[in-house]
Amino acid sequence: MNLKFAVLFALTLLSGLSAYGQDNVIDEVVWVVGDEAILKSEVEEARMNALYEGRKFDRDPYCVIPEEIAVQKLFLHQAVLDSIEVSESEVIQRVDMMTNMYIANIGSREKMEEYFNKTSSQIRETLRENAREGLTVQKMQQKLVGEIKVTPAEVRRYFKDLPQDSIPYIPTQVEVQIVTLQPKIPTEEIEDVKRRLRDYTDRINKGETSFSTLARMYSEDRGSAINGGEMPFYGKGQLDPAFANVAFNLQDPNKISKIVESEFGFHIIQLIEKRGDRIKARHILLKPHVPESALEAANARLDSIADDIRNGKFTFEEAAAVLSQDKDTRNNHGLLPNPNTNTSKFEMQELPPEIAKVVDNMKVGEISEAFTMIPQKTGKEECVIVKLKSRTNGHKATIADDYQNLKEIVLEKRRDEMLDKWIREKQKHTYVRIKDTWKNNCAFKYPGWIKE
């Protein structure tokens, strides 16, 4: 019995003392899977998150949730054996997405902090570990299922054998084209940002403070700010080109870079370490404030462009190619790509919320009035007009119109069957201990947790 397991075993024994009058026990081990503990606090946190997300349980959540965590532990253990790794950039991207989702659903950053009774930094730290584990499990599952393939005959057979009341419902899907303009930022605002960054550089060079301290206090890249501006190892192609050109030319960790402008704002950079063709650096990001007058001017220009399109002076596609400042869509007739499916079709909840709100009541071919949005990627305000290119209303699937969707359903079924088989086999060779009060009357999905 290794040291880690011995500690977990001792914790389990100590937690059992709470049944004999120890009312002030802060936490307790309720499951042990392999040499990993599942704490009561983990289960409670997962239950609260499920309640927040509106999840309904068909069984006792104190049976369902720890079993789900236990399954995750099996995948995480296998990921260690198979050397599955998740990059810090992937973790930060997931944390940003989750944080933005919470803010959008709750209403504001302040309300989010009040709801969870934690600061934004504390919330992000909690999300960071959750994101890392979730991404690791996802990669492990992808490795286990490999390249499962299904034939058209299998898809047709699956659809043919489905009872009429089990035919899947395909939600409404839309295709959206966009034209964007970046509002013009006053020169004095840009100069003020540069002045502040020069001041930070002077203070660091004089030894008055450290780069890390200033990054935590002032950097607007909140994902790295909590780590003193420190970023993970990146290859040159993973970074904004302007940022990468400066960062990869740094040689002395004691020197601060010149001010760099990227698509995200203005930076100063400090080298931490070079390792082959990758670099680890820290940075401070400041974003110039966009005045209301600049937003109004950009929206007015877009409204004028939309009127010209409606009047036949040029097409939306031509406007996207010539006028749009969105580099991801201007060479594709303004068509917004769905990163989740690698197609141009979106279910409404997959669209950026500002676009979904506008598109919801539009007719096919209609062009919106200009509005402002903040893309998750850059976090910088931009002005947008959209055109609804197509809408396919929700309907019961047909093999003729929805073959791709049905193929994905069959593939998912095959993957689930393979993962289910793997979990049941893995259970046979994994030590599991469940506190008696946490297994009584529990009808587990995978009965192999309790060994005779």
Statement to judge: residues 106 and 127 lie in one domain: yes
Contact 333, 179 (CB under 8 A): no
Statement to judge: residues 417 and 358 lie in one domain: no
Statement to judge: residues 180 and 307 lie in one domain: yes
Contact 77, 100 (CB under 8 A): no
Q: Which residue has the tokens 């933005």?
A: 100
Residue range 12-44, pLDDT digits in tens: 333 333 333 334 456 899 999 988 899 999 899
Statement to judge: residues 227 and 331 lie in one domain: no
Q: Which residue has the tokens 């909140």?
A: 222
Residue range 223-269, pLDDT digits in tens: 788 889 998 888 888 788 999 999 999 999 999 999 999 988 999 99
Name which of 36, 41, 29 is nearest 73 in CA terms: 36
Statement to judge: residues 443 and 387 lie in one domain: no
Rounded CA separation 217/262 (Å):
21
Statement to judge: residues 263 and 320 lie in one domain: no
Residue range 360-372, pLDDT digits in tens: 999 999 999 999 9
Three state DSSP letters for 44-99 = HHHHHHHHHCCCCCCCCHHHHHHHHHHHHHHHHHHHHHCCCCCCHHHHHHHHHHHH
- The answer to whether residue 155 sits within a structural domain is no
**Token pair recorded at residue 374:** 């903040």
Q: With bands split at pLDDT 50, 70 and 90, how would you rate the model's confidence at 452?
A: low
Angle between helices 403-428 and 61-81 (to 10 degrees): 80
Contact 74, 33 (CB under 8 A): yes
Statement to judge: residues 132 and 192 lie in one domain: no
Statement to judge: residues 11 and 136 lie in one domain: yes
DSSP sequence for 179-241: EEEPPPPPHHHHHHHHHHHHHHHHHHHTTSS-HHHHHHHH-S-HHHHTTTTB---EEGGGS-H
Quick one: CA dihedral 100, 102, 108, 109, positive or negative? negative
**Token pair recorded at residue 308:** 């010209």
Rounded CA separation 223/232 (Å):
11
When divided into structural domains, the chain yields a total of 3
Q: What is the pTM of this model?
A: 0.57
Q: With bands split at pLDDT 50, 70 and 90, how would you rate the model's confidence at 405?
A: confident
CATH of the domain at 355: 3.10.50.40
Statement to judge: residues 328 and 180 lie in one domain: yes
Model pLDDT, residue 17: 34
Per DSSP, the three-state class of 311 is coil
- The answer to whether residue 406 sits within a structural domain is no
Rounded CA separation 40/323 (Å):
56
Statement to judge: residues 296 and 224 lie in one domain: no
Residue range 125-141, pLDDT digits in tens: 888 888 899 999 999 99
- The answer to whether residue 45 sits within a structural domain is yes
CATH of the domain at 417: 1.10.4030.10
- The answer to whether residue 158 sits within a structural domain is no
Query: What is the domain range of residue 255?
Result: 187-286
